[in-house]
């Protein structure tokens, strides 16, 4: 249910993105007035982050964590059910704001005051929807933590857990730590709007920059909430198709934990141009660069796992390799943005848009698709059409670069983000970017078709669909029984699963 919901929201968010690229295909206001364009942009961001990526990772956790740790099910099924059913109501509320008088929210997904305080009737449902999404995330995170710590097989120590489980355990703690900060921040916006408080109003002694500090204290760990489970999936897929154990398992665990810790002390690198003291700028610049070290450890370990492996290039492996390469490009542009004097040039340009889309599309989305293609035979008991899945990969990998790479050039040339119109000298690269966007968007329908066909057309995959697949989930039947491990797996079985 989580995965189907996230797929639906991904298609909605993708359709909004294609409307954005349609407007930017040529200079001039073509199809949408600026207010409506800004609403589309805001809805795209909120839908993709809270509706597509986060519920998808919760869906992966629900399905794979019990299988991988030898548990019969998630620890708190009623809480799980509640945390899911909050989401359809939250997004009905959020997307419904587009039809209210004055239109939908138009201040960007960051909701910075004073702009967000000028919204019309869409403001209260926006805040309420964000609260509902936050509650859902926190409940899901509690469930994951309780399941992993209390229900894993008795002989499975923490440092014998699969890396996907480790990544989700750390992600769950991040969620519990930062979602209340977002909730508090948007509640302060609400009281500023309706109850006469002045938290973020300079006229009453408040400070709009304080909202930015609060928001990004949530927002930067949120980036890692979206990418740490991706690290976990890639750490499962690459060893399977290299037919080798992951290189440096413990180093990978400590790297994930280090990235999570550092994510709490780098938030103000989003704010270098607000007038921060020099000491603050230097601190946030250096801590941001420090994240490159554990991230580099992970990239090195994936590469070392590939070294002299018996490689094969099925669709999960193709997406995982594309993730490593393209996520690294996004990481390098992030290092460029970390340099304070350079950031003065990049800030609020399309260079920033290119950076975070390289991290989140060929990053989070490609890793999800690697995970779906890796575990789909286990989930359905059927093997999907490998030829169609390979076509989906190549169309996606080529078009995603045509879509986002030119945006680096646009940003360096000075094109601001969040604008429906632009100077004529930016036309050529916008045309290229939009064509890439349309191809990428349409090619994702192939992904949906491959999954639908796999679920409907019998093609038995066997219990171990991939020769090099490791882990307890591959010891079960395909598809697994409703209660996957009625009795906990033995130490012998755990050891044997790790050896495959």
Catalytic, out of 131, 152, 193, 270: 270
**222, 343, 473, 475: which is the annotated catalytic residue?**
222
Neighbouring-strand partners of residue 460: 382
**pLDDT value, residue 248:** 93
Which of 21, 131, 193, 220 is flagged as catalytic? 220
pLDDT at residue 62, rounded to an integer? 95
- pLDDT, tens only, 392-446: 999 999 999 999 999 999 999 999 999 999 999 999 999 999 999 999 999 999 9
pLDDT tens string 154-204: 988 899 899 999 999 999 999 999 999 999 999 999 999 999 999 999 999
Share the mean pLDDT of the chain: 94
How wide is the angle at C-alpha 241 spanned by C-alphas 240 and 245, nearest 5°?
A: 45
Residue 487's pLDDT is: 87
> Of 42, 47, 58, 137, which residue is the catalytic one?
137
- Residue 298 among the catalytic residues: yes
Q: Is 440 a catalytic residue?
A: no
Cis peptide before 114 (omega within 30 of 0): yes
- Walk me through the domains of the chain, giving residue ranges and CATH numbers: 2-499 (1.20.210.10)
Residues 75-86 have pLDDT tens digits of: 999 999 999 999
Residue 191 annotated to the active site: no
Q: Active site includes 39? A: no
Residue 468 is predicted with a pLDDT of 87
pLDDT band for position 119 (cuts 50, 70, 90): confident
Catalytic residue among 2, 63, 109, 379: 109
The residue with tokens 């939009």 is 434
> What is the per-residue pLDDT for 24?
94
The one catalytic residue among 21, 244, 298, 357: 298
- At residue 115, the pLDDT reads 86
Residue 499 banded pLDDT, cuts 50, 70, 90: low
Contact between residue 270 and residue 219 where contact means Cβ atoms under 8 Å apart: yes
Active-site annotation holds for 267: no
417 is catalytic: yes
Name the residue among 301, 275, 270 with its Cα closest to residue 288: 270
Q: Which of 488, 489, 466, 486 is nearest to 478 (CA)?
A: 466
Which of 39, 97, 116, 295 is labelled catalytic? 295
Contacts of 336 (CB under 8 A, 6+ apart): 342, 346, 351, 355
Read off the pLDDT of residues 332-379 as tens digits, 9 standing for 90 and up: 999 999 999 999 999 999 999 999 999 999 999 999 999 999 999 999
- Helices 208-242, 315-338: axis angle to 10 degrees equals 150
What pLDDT, on a 0 to 100 scale, did the predictor assign at position 491?
Answer: 84
- Evaluate if residue 500 carries a pLDDT over 60: no
Of 10, 224, 373, 379, which residue is the catalytic one? 224
| Given 44, 193, 408, 470, the catalytic residue | 44
Choosing from 73, 187, 390, 418, the catalytic residue is: 73
Catalytic one of 42, 235, 263, 434: 235
**What digits encode the pLDDT tens for the residues 36-71?**
999 999 999 999 999 999 999 999 999 999 999 999
Active site residue: 269, 355, 357, 392, which one?
A: 269
Mean pLDDT of 463-482: 89
Q: Which of 213, 417, 453, 500 is catalytic?
A: 417
Indicate whether 447 pLDDT > 60: yes
Q: Determine the pLDDT at residue 42.
A: 94
Q: Are 215 and 184 in contact (CB under 8 A)?
A: no
**Residue 224 bears catalytic tag:** yes
Catalytic residue, chosen from 136, 287, 396, 478, is: 136
List Cα–Cα distances, 140 to 29, 91, 143, 178, 471, in angstroms.
42, 17, 5, 14, 23
pLDDT confidence of residue 257: 96
Q: At what angle do helices 208-242 and 350-359 cross, to 10 degrees?
A: 40
- What average pLDDT does this structure show over 226-233? 96
Q: What pLDDT sits at residue 493?
A: 84
Active site residue 270: yes
| Residue 378 a catalytic site member | no
456 catalytic? Reply is: no
Q: What is the pTM of this model?
A: 0.95
Contacts of 447 (CB under 8 A, 6+ apart): 369, 372, 392, 396
Cα 68 to Cα 152: distance, rounded to the nearest angstrom: 8
Q: Is 109 designated active site? A: yes
Peptide bond into 117 cis (omega under 30): no
Which pLDDT score is estimated for 131? 96
Mean pLDDT of all residues in 191-218: 93
185 is annotated as an active-site residue? no
Q: What is the pLDDT of residue 458?
A: 86
User: DSSP letter string over 86-142?
Assistant: HHHHHHHHHHHGGGSTT-S--STTTT-TTTGGG--TTHHHHHHHHHHHHHHHHHHHH
Closest to 123 in 3D by CA, of 195, 17, 24, 222: 195
Comparing 15-24, 118-127, 290-299, the range with the smallest average pLDDT is 118-127
Whether residue 94 has pLDDT greater than 90: yes
**Whose structure tokens read 């154990």?**
245
């Amino acid at each position: 249910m989580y995965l189907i919901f996230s797929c639906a929201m991904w298609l909605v968010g993708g359709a909004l993105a294609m409307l954005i690229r349609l407007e930017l295909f040529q200079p001039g206001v073509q199809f949408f007035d600026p207010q409506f364009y800004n609403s589309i942009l805001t809805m795209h961001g909120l839908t993709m982050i809270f509706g597509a990526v986060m519920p998808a990772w919760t869906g992966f956790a629900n399905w794979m964590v019990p299988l991988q740790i030898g548990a019969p099910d998630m620890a708190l099924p009623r809480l799980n059910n509640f945390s899911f059913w909050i989401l359809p109501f939250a997004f009905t509320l959020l997307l419904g704001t587009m039809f209210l008088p004055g239109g939908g929210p138009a201040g960007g997904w960051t909701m910075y005051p004073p702009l967000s305080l000028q919204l019309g009737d869409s403001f209260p449902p926006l805040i309420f929807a964000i609260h509902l999404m936050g509650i859902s995330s926190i409940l899901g995170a509690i469930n994951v933590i309780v399941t992993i710590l209390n229900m894993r097989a008795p002989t499975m120590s923490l440092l014998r857990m699969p890396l996907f489980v480790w990544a989700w355990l750390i992600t769950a703690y991040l969620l519990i730590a930062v979602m209340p900060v977002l909730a508090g921040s948007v509640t302060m916006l609400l009281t500023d709007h309706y109850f006469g408080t002045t938290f973020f109003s300079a006229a009453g002694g408040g400070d709009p920059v304080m909202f930015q500090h609060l928001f990004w204290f949530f927002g930067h760990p949120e980036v890692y909430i979206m990418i740490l489970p991706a690290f976990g999936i890639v750490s499962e897929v690459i060893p399977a198709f290299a037919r080798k154990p992951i290189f440096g398992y413990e180093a990978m665990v400590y790297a994930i934990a280090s990235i999570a810790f550092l994510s709490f002390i780098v938030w103000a690198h989003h704010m270098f141009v607000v007038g921060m003291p020099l000491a603050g700028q230097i601190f946030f610049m250096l801590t941001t660069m420090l994240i490159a070290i554990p991230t580099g450890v992970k990239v090195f370990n994936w590469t070392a796992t590939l070294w002299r492996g018996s490689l094969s290039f099925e669709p999960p492996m193709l997406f995982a390799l594309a993730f490593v390469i393209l996520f690294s490009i996004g990481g390098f542009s992030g290092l460029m943005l970390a340099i304070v004097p350079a950031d003065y040039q990049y800030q609020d340009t399309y260079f920033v848009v290119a950076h975070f889309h390289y991290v989140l599309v060929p990053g989070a989305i490609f890793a999800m698709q690697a995970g779906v293609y890796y575990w789909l035979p286990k989930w359905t008991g059927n093997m999907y059409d490998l030829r169609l899945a390979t076509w989906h990969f190549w169309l996606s990998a080529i078009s995603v670069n045509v879509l986002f790479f030119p945006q680096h050039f646009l940003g360096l040339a000075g094109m601001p983000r969040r604008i429906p119109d632009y100077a004529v000298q930016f036309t050529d690269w916008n045309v290229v970017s939009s064509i890439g966007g349309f191809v990428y968007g349409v090619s994702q329908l192939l992904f949906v078709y491959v999954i639908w066909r796999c679920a409907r057309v019998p093609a038995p995959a066997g219990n171990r669909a991939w020769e090099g697949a490791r882990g307890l989930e591959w010891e079960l039947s395909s598809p697994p029984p409703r209660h996957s491990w009625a009795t906990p797996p033995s130490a012998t079985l755990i050891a044997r699963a790790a050896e495959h």
